[in-house]
């Protein structure tokens, strides 16, 4: 069902039917706010069906979680429910016999938090089942002390001394660094100097080279404001699909420590993995799985192959009248940003509310600065300003009123998924909400998800995409073709060139193909583990 067609309400009609038959139903959504909001707003429906409902929240203790999981319908995020499930496996994993297990549960204060996986209904199924489906959830504990902080800092220093090109090559798409012969030779000399100072790890050449490779990957492939942000002196990962902070996650294999060393913050201790499971494998553990989303039609075959679920397209309640304006293509990023600001100013003067989508926190802050310099009042919604996310998105539908300026909202991908943008009368009369996308995403359906904020339930609206040959999508997936297009075109705006438009479509297809192959690799690994390591 397209965005704005009432997926949440439809799910609340199906949920009691599933819960009656399956005893326990987990309703998964993208964040804690939506889980709590939907559980509270749907409670009258479920209570009338004699079903109890609750929502799992980050701040809940074990006793509160135990009470929620005992209810018939449980709202939560995949991260929360999967983590509780894995903690149950860790707690119960050492039980050598039924009697010992019974004694351990009695001493531990009860049974597992999650009383089995019965049924699952996924809201925003494309984000949960596909985008986040291959992310491994890892339960880990920090080691007693960190003895590697100085070594990671040294590796970052060695990476700075190497030359990009002669010494190493970066594969940006795979986020991988390959050392060349000259780089290996130079590192051997550096390792000999360090080993002479008494640090034994630099005598192990392969391990030492791996530390430097991770430092190179951290330097070139992980950017502040895109993949992570520094909050209170700590590296916090940013979800590249939603733009939200993931404060309790860290990268594996020393990468997180390499990023910390690069930024000069305190290097945290590496963690000892206690349990891990990909979300994809977790979802497939449910005997009954269903979901709803507005942008999964492009991934129908993958949904059927991975989860065995058919996809049904539901027609819109009212005809879609949103105007999709032609994509504007520019040679340089500077020209693109200038055109975006000019377009926002024109729409603002016409009294139309504008929602602008950026791919990263850094881009949203950069655009906000340019709008401020232009004297355009606006609101920023990203992981740095997410406390009133729903209120900001609701306010995005405001047009010109007496004494009030039409709303300008700059947002990352989060854009209040699950929250309706309701237009006021002045905004509707002016032409509705206009959505501007500042850059194409790696998957077409993510673009469609953001553009779908406008023109909901037959409302007027429009959308336009702005791109440049310096965008990340082109640089990573069609760098050589992009350079040829740059040389073969003149003028800043090059929309009229069919070759350039095909270039962006090619880059997006390559990005989607790479991501799909990565998910297929995780699927093969999950299938192997289920076949040969059923207890893992």
pLDDT tens digits for 412-425?
Answer: 865 555 566 778 88
What are the Cα distances from residue 94, in Å, to 66, 91, 97, 103, 464?
21, 7, 9, 12, 57
Residue from 18, 13, 66 nearest 42 by CA: 13
Cβ atoms within 10 Å of 475's Cβ, excluding its own? 15
> What is the mean pLDDT of the segment spanning 378-406?
63
Question: By mean pLDDT, which of 335-344, 460-469, 508-517 is the weakest?
Answer: 508-517
**Beta strand extents in 325-367 (DSSP E only):** 328-330, 354-357
Which 8-state DSSP code applies to residue 409?
A: E
Q: Angle, to 10 degrees, between the axis of helix 149-161 and the axis of helix 205-221?
A: 70
Point out which residues pair with 433 in neighbouring strands: 461
**Beta strand extents in 265-338 (DSSP E only):** 271-278, 288-292, 323-324, 328-330
Q: Is the pLDDT of residue 461 over 60?
A: yes
Which 8-state DSSP code applies to residue 121?
A: E
CA angle 450, 226, 504 (to 5 degrees): 55
Residue from 470, 473, 468 nearest 506 by CA: 473
Q: Mean pLDDT, the chain, as a whole number?
A: 81
Q: Is the pLDDT of residue 526 over 80?
A: no
The reported pLDDT for the residue numbered 144 is: 46
The reported pLDDT for the residue numbered 347 is: 93
The CATH H-level (homologous superfamily) assignment of domain 7-137+278-314 is P-loop containing nucleotide triphosphate hydrolases (3.40.50.300)
Q: Which two tokens stand for residue 168?
A: 């190493």
User: What CA–CA distance (Å, rounded) separates 412 from 307?
Assistant: 29
Give SS3 for 349: helix
The CATH H-level (homologous superfamily) assignment of domain 149-269 is SecA, preprotein cross-linking domain (3.90.1440.10)
323-517, what's its fold? Rossmann fold (3.40.50)
**Beta strand extents in 48-194 (DSSP E only):** 53-55, 73-76, 119-123, 136-142, 168-171, 176-179
- 323-517 and 149-269 share a CATH fold: no
What pLDDT band is residue 507 in, cutting at 50, 70 and 90?
Answer: confident
The strand order across the sheet containing 234-238 reads: 228-231, 234-238, 245-246
The reported pLDDT for the residue numbered 87 is: 84
Domain ranges of the chain: 7-137+278-314, 149-269, 323-517
Residue 30's contacts (CB-CB under 8 Å, 6 or more residues apart) are: 77, 123, 124, 127, 128, 242, 417, 418
**Beta strand extents in 358-508 (DSSP E only):** 379-381, 408-411, 433-437, 461-468
């Amino acid at each position: 069902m397209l965005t704005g067609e009432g997926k949440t309400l439809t799910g609340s009609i199906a949920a009691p039917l599933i819960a009656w038959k399956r005893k326990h139903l987990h309703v998964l959504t993208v964040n804690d706010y939506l889980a709590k909001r939907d559980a509270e707003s749907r409670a009258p429906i479920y209570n009338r069906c004699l079903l109890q409902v609750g929502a799992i929240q980050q701040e809940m203790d074990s006793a509160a979680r135990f009470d929620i999981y005992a209810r018939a319908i449980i709202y939560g995020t995949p991260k929360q429910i999967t983590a509780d499930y894995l903690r149950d496996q860790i707690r119960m994993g050492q039980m050598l016999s039924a009697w010992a297990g019974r004694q351990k549960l009695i001493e531990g204060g009860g049974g597992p938090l999650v009383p089995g996986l019965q049924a699952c209904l996924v809201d925003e199924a494309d984000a949960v089942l596909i985008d986040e489906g291959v992310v491994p959830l890892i339960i880990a504990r920090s080691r007693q002390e960190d003895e590697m902080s100085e070594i990671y800092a040294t590796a970052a220093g060695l990476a700075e001394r190497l030359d990009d090109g002669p010494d190493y090559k970066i594969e940006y798409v795979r986020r991988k660094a390959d050392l060349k012969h000259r780089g290996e030779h130079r590192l051997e000399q550096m390792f000999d100097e360090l080993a002479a100072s008494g640090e034994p790890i630099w005598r192990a050449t392969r391990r030492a080279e791996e530390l430097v490779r991770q430092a190179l990957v951290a330097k070139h492939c992980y950017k502040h404001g895109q993949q992570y942000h520094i909050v209170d002196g700590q590296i916090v990962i940013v979800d590249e699909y939603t733009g939200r902070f993931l404060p309790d996650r860290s990268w594996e294999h020393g990468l997180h420590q390499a990023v910390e060393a690069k930024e000069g913050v305190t290097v945290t201790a590496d963690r000892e993995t206690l349990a891990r499971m990909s979300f994809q494998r977790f979802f497939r553990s449910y005997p009954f799985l269903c979901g709803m989303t507005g942008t999964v039609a492009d991934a129908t075959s993958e949904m059927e192959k991975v989860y065995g679920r058919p996809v049904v397209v539901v027609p819109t309640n009212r005809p879609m009248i949103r105007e999709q304006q032609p994509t504007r293509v520019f040679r340089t990023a500077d020209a693109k940003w200038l055109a975006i600001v000019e377009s926002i100013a024109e729409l603002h003067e016409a009294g139309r509310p504008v929602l602008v989508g950026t791919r990263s926190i850094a881009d949203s802050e950069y655009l906000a600065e340019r709008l401020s310099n232009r004297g355009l009042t606006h609101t920023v919604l990203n992981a740095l300003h997410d406390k009133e996310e729903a209120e900001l998105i609701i306010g995005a539908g405001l047009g010109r009123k007496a004494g009030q300026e039409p709303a300008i909202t700059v947002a990352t991908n989060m854009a209040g998924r699950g929250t309706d943008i309701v237009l006021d009368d002045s905004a509707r009369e002016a032409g509705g909400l206009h959505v501007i996308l500042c850059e194409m995403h790696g998957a077409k359906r993510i673009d469609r998800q953001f553009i779908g904020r406008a023109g909901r339930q037959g409302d007027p609206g429009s959308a336009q995409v702005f791109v440049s040959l310096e965008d990340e999508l082109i640089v990573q997936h069609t760098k050589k073709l992009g350079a040829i297009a740059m040389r073969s075109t003149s003028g800043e705006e090059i929309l009229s060139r069919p070759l350039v438009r095909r270039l962006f479509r090619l880059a997006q297809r390559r990005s989607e193909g790479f991501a799909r192959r990565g998910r297929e690799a995780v699927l093969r690994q999950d299938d192997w583990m289920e076949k040969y390591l059923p207890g893992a």
